């Protein structure tokens, strides 16, 4: 079996709570935990006045989480998910802006990124409630051990219907901060529950926090450091310890050898987003099921597929959604998509061929912006 490489955005090289830069004042770090279930870290120059900025960064991240996370009972997304079929929900400005971003990437990717797969995410056991130590089955389709038992086929079919799983059927108001739920209800034989469209925006919530941080730091004329939410969404400014201001970002292979990386990005003044089938997954009878739902309504992970994707540039929330979309695409689709948008953002992704058990790294990054640090079967650079 060939070594399995996948992506997880590792900590920046030398990123410790306190570390020094040669030509500038030391860099320091502040951390907050459990924002979208992740660590938030701001690394900054000691010449900054950090307390007010950190308070603003933290407050902004918490406000975004409380607005769109399905874990927050009063969030706009939770209220939409509880709404009846056909009901219009005032989601407020913060959620509305993020929904607009989601709609833009949904259209840009021809629906490969779709935030309306909440029913399927929950069905397959990847909602936040499934990660709680207190999880117990409460819904008709729940399994006591969802990591050892597949859902019933009738629910897979019902929840995959475009009427309840296609974001294009929801209506965003052009003049108000409202979202109207489709009037369709998914019918399941032997179950009288009325299942309606359910949203899941947690996948771009981290990027939304990064974009808000970028505005806060830019307004304060902050030049150095970075802002990171979890391992998947990152804003990098300048590195004071490098003549060109570049940061080295290791993209690691955590499944077998977490300390190893398959590539290093060399970047500054940009955003980096990553997604893959390694973040949340389980295996049943040798088949991997991950939290990213494919176009067929089933989790990505079986057969030939994109195992991981990294997007550099653009808004971080867009990058999060684009990276997720790439993981659901075929190799040809991913290459065509990345080529079509090469002037807007850069892409690196790994394709696994299940027949040959070979891994291929594709990228439209310029050669000076990355180094491959692992032995892939081959690397392809496309325009």
Q: What pLDDT is stored for residue 377 in this prediction?
A: 62
| Domain extents in the chain | 8-63+203-381, 70-200
Give the C-alpha separation, 214 to 234, whole Å: 10
Give the C-alpha separation, 210 to 140, whole Å: 37
Give the C-alpha separation, 178 to 29, whole Å: 38
pLDDT in tens, 4-43: 333 333 344 333 223 334 455 688 999 999 999 899 999 9
pLDDT in tens, 35-67: 998 999 999 987 667 999 999 999 999 999 999
Q: What pLDDT is stored for residue 14 in this prediction?
A: 31
Q: Which CATH class is domain 70-200?
A: alpha beta
Q: What pLDDT is stored for residue 46 in this prediction?
A: 76
Q: Which of 383, 302, 286, 294 is nearest to 341 (CA)?
A: 383
Contact 172, 99 (CB under 8 A): yes
Q: What pLDDT is stored for residue 18 in this prediction?
A: 31
Statement: the pTM of the whole predicted model exceeds 0.85: yes
Q: Which of 44, 21, 12 is nearest to 272 (CA)?
A: 12
Which residues of the chain fall short of a pLDDT of 70? 1-25, 47-48, 252-260, 375-378, 383
Q: Which of 96, 102, 121 is nearest to 88 (CA)?
A: 96
Q: What is the DSSP string of 74-131?
A: TSHHHHHHHSPTT-EEE-HHHHHHHHHHHHHHHHHTTTSS-TT-HHHHHHTT-SGGGG
Say yes or no: domain 8-63+203-381 is CATH 3.10.520.10: yes
Please tell me whether residue 330 adopts helix, strand or coil conformation.
Answer: coil
Q: What pLDDT is stored for residue 278 in this prediction?
A: 81
């Amino acid at each position: 079996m060939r070594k399995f490489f996948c992506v997880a955005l590792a900590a920046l090289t030398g990123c410790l709570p306190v570390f020094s830069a040669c030509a500038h004042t030391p860099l320091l770090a502040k951390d907050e935990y459990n924002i979208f279930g992740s660590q938030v870290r701001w690394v900054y120059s000691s010449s900054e006045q950090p307390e007010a900025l950190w308070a603003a960064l933290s407050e902004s991240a918490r406000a975004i989480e409380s607005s769109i996370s399905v874990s927050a009972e009063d969030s706009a997304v939770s209220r939409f998910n509880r709404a009846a079929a056909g009901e219009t929900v005032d989601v407020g400005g913060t959620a509305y802006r993020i929904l607009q971003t989601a709609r833009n990437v949904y259209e840009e990717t021809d629906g490969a990124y779709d935030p309306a797969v909440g029913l399927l995410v929950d069905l397959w056991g990847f909602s936040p409630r499934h990660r709680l130590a207190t999880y117990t089955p409460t819904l008709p389709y729940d399994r006591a051990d969802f990591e050892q038992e597949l859902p019933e086929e009738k629910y897979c079919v019902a929840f995959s219907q475009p009427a309840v799983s296609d974001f294009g059927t929801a209506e965003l108001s052009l003049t108000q901060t409202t979202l109207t739920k489709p009037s369709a209800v998914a019918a399941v034989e032997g179950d009288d529950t009325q299942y309606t469209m359910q949203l899941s925006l947690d996948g771009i919530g981290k990027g939304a926090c990064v974009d808000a941080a970028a505005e806060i730091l830019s307004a304060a004329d902050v030049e150095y450091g970075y802002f990171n939410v979890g391992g998947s969404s990152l804003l990098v400014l300048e590195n004071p310890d490098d003549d060109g201001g570049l940061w080295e970002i290791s993209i690691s292979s955590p499944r077998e050898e977490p300390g190893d990386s398959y590539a290093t990005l060399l970047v500054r003044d940009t955003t980096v987003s990553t997604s893959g089938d390694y973040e949340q997954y389980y295996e049943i009878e040798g088949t991997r099921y991950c939290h990213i739902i494919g176009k067929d309504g089933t989790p990505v992970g079986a057969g030939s597929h994109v195992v991981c994707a990294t997007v550099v540039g653009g808004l971080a929330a867009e990058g999060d959604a684009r990276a997720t979309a790439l993981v659901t695409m075929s190799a040809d689709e991913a290459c065509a998509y990345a080529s079509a948008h090469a002037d807007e953002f850069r892409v690196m992704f790994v394709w696994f061929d299940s027949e040959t058990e070979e891994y291929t790294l594709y990228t439209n990054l310029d050669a000076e912006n990355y180094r491959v640090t692992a032995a892939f079967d081959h690397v392809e650079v496309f325009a």
